[in-house]
């Protein structure tokens, strides 16, 4: 039985569906009771479903745990803006440590979700301590568990792989609301209002020229399955395309894909600015000094581990995703947009 924690969530749900496509149905789906009740899990096949609290209290013990063949751990706090240290410690660090301990005791391979947020405002994004400088509590606890794993690498009884996700976007993230990807937020904003807003320039960066490494959830799933299939590897690996795209470039791709769906011609960036389709606003004071202006995954370790599949470039990945959103979500379903998240805050 493969355990997928966060199985009712964005990446977790996509993992369950990918396993199903392989013919794997013997899955224990773990998530919060609220997520399981509120999410539409139609199309997901799994043997059992368990609330996180029950999983911690009883699922990690006894006969059920003896059936686990692998754990894909994607269940924890997903709110990068959370400031509750006790909650972050319990849900990111202690929960993960408990799963790690059981996996080691029972020799069960573990793949877990880390985060590129651990790199902070640095300019190098290698899986090394010299590059790690988290800017908030969420990132600090993600790094704390990575450090915990590192301290055990020389004495592992079963493989452990931490995946540092960069900016993930793609199918089935609608439920995330204000924490949905920048691509999703921009598509909703343009559909509802006919314009989008990005951060104005700051700290030597021009308007909308903040840049991130945007990676599709489909590529993230492929990396998970690669390590699930090849248990020889342990350690921490970046998961991104290895390229950075500016917010301006992403917004332009979203807008022009939407325009093409309406039979309208593409516009260049200067025209979008001149006509007010693309505007800018000052970064909120609450996140100044805690915001990553640039990320770009160094994926050499991932390639050295043998992962050879090409990542979808932003131009193609964003266009494909926006076309799916256009087909899935009529304008009547558009909800209020959180302007901070429209700017790609993670």
Strand partners, 27: 2
CATH code, 37: 3.40.50.720
Assess whether 84 and 223 both reside in one domain: yes
Whether the per-residue pLDDT at 332 is higher than 80: the answer is no
Structure-derived torsion over alpha carbons of residues 321, 2, 164, 222, reported in degrees to the nearest 10: -40
Q: Which of 140-154, 167-181, 269-283 has the lowest mean pLDDT?
A: 167-181
Does a structural domain hold residue 304?
Answer: no
Residues near 306 by beta carbon (within 8 Å), at least 6 away in sequence: 226, 230
Quote the CA–CA distance of 99 and 94 in Å, as a whole number: 9
Whether the per-residue pLDDT at 42 is higher than 70: the answer is no
Quote the CA–CA distance of 278 and 272 in Å, as a whole number: 5
Rounded to an integer, the average pLDDT of 82-88 is 91
Active-site residue, from 138, 141, 237, 307: 138
Active site residue 169: no
Rounded to an integer, the average pLDDT of 133-153 is 96
Could you tell me the residue range of the domain that residue 121 belongs to? Answer: 2-167+215-239
Rounded to an integer, the average pLDDT of 2-13 is 95
Active site residue 176: yes
214-216 and 167-169 beta bridge pairing: parallel
Percent of the chain with pLDDT strictly greater than 70: 94
Rounded to an integer, the average pLDDT of 125-148 is 96
pLDDT band per the 50, 70, 90 thresholds, residue 331:
very low
pLDDT band per the 50, 70, 90 thresholds, residue 346:
very low
Asked if residue 94 lies in contact with residue 141, where contact means CB atoms within 8 angstroms, the answer is: no
pLDDT in tens, 255-265: 999 999 999 99
Asked if residue 208 lies in contact with residue 248, where contact means CB atoms within 8 angstroms, the answer is: yes
Chain-wide mean pLDDT for the chain? 91
Asked if residue 300 lies in contact with residue 240, where contact means CB atoms within 8 angstroms, the answer is: no
pLDDT band per the 50, 70, 90 thresholds, residue 73:
very high
Rounded to an integer, the average pLDDT of 331-343 is 41
Q: DSSP letter for 57, please.
A: I
Whether the per-residue pLDDT at 224 is higher than 50: the answer is yes
Q: What is the pLDDT of residue 37?
A: 77
Q: What is the pLDDT of residue 303?
A: 98
Token output for 49: 């479903």
Q: What is the pLDDT of residue 314?
A: 97
Asked if residue 88 lies in contact with residue 144, where contact means CB atoms within 8 angstroms, the answer is: no
Does a structural domain hold residue 279?
Answer: yes
Q: What is the pLDDT of residue 330?
A: 55
Assess whether 136 and 185 both reside in one domain: no
Q: What is the pLDDT of residue 192?
A: 96
Whether the per-residue pLDDT at 329 is higher than 60: the answer is no
Active-site residue, from 87, 176, 222, 294: 176
Q: What is the pLDDT of residue 333?
A: 41
Assess whether 107 and 62 both reside in one domain: yes
Quote the CA–CA distance of 179 and 81 in Å, as a whole number: 9
pLDDT in tens, 200-222: 987 788 999 999 999 999 999 99
Q: What is the pLDDT of residue 39?
A: 73
pLDDT band per the 50, 70, 90 thresholds, residue 174:
confident
Asked if residue 143 lies in contact with residue 88, where contact means CB atoms within 8 angstroms, the answer is: no
Instruction: Quote the number of domains for the chain.
Output: 2
Assess whether 70 and 88 both reside in one domain: yes
Does a structural domain hold residue 300?
Answer: no
Assess whether 77 and 88 both reside in one domain: yes
Asked if residue 106 lies in contact with residue 68, where contact means CB atoms within 8 angstroms, the answer is: yes
pLDDT in tens, 281-313: 998 887 877 788 899 999 999 999 999 999 999
Assess whether 97 and 147 both reside in one domain: yes
Q: What is the pLDDT of residue 336?
A: 42
Assess whether 80 and 41 both reside in one domain: yes
Does a structural domain hold residue 163?
Answer: yes
Assess whether 144 and 200 both reside in one domain: no
């Amino acid at each position: 039985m493969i355990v997928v924690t966060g199985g009712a969530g964005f990446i977790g749900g996509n993992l369950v569906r990918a396993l199903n496509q392989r013919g794997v149905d013997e899955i224990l789906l773990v998530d919060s009771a609220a997520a399981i009740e509120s999410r539409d899990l139609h199309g997901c096949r799994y043997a059992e479903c368990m609330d996180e609290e029950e999983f911690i209290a009883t699922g990690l013990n006894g006969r059920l745990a003896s059936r686990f063949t692998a754990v894909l751990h994607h269940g924890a706090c997903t709110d990068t803006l959370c400031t509750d240290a006790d909650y972050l410690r319990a849900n990111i660090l202690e929960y993960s440590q408990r799963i790690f301990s059981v996996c080691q005791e029972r020799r069960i391979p573990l793949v877990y979700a880390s985060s590129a947020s651990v790199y902070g405002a640095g300019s190098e994004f290698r899986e090394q301590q010299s590059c790690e400088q988290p800017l908030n509590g969420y990132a600090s606890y993600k790094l704390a568990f990575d450090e915990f794993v590192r301290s055990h690498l020389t004495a592992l009884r079963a493989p452990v792989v931490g995946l540092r996700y960069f900016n993930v976007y793609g199918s089935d993230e609608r439920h995330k609301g204000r924490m949905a990807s920048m691509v999703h937020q921009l598509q909703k904003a343009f559909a509802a209002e006919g314009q989008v807003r990005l951060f104005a320039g700051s700290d030597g960066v021009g308007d909308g020229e903040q840049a991130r490494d945007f990676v599709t959830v489909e590529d993230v799933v492929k990396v998970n399955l690669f390590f699930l299939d090849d248990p020889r590897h342990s350690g921490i690996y970046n998961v991104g395309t290895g390229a950075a795209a500016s917010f301006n470039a992403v917004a332009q791709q979203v807008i022009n894909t939407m325009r093409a769906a309406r039979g309208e011609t593409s516009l260049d960036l200067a025209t979008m600015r001149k006509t007010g389709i693309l505007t800018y606003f000052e970064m909120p004071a609450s996140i100044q000094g805690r915001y990553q202006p640039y990320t770009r995954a160094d994926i050499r370790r991932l390639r050295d581990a043998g992962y050879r599949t090409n990542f979808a470039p932003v131009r193609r990945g964003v266009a494909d995703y926006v076309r799916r959103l256009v087909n899935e979500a009529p304008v009547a379903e558009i909800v209020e947009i959180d302007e901070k998240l429209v700017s790609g805050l993670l």
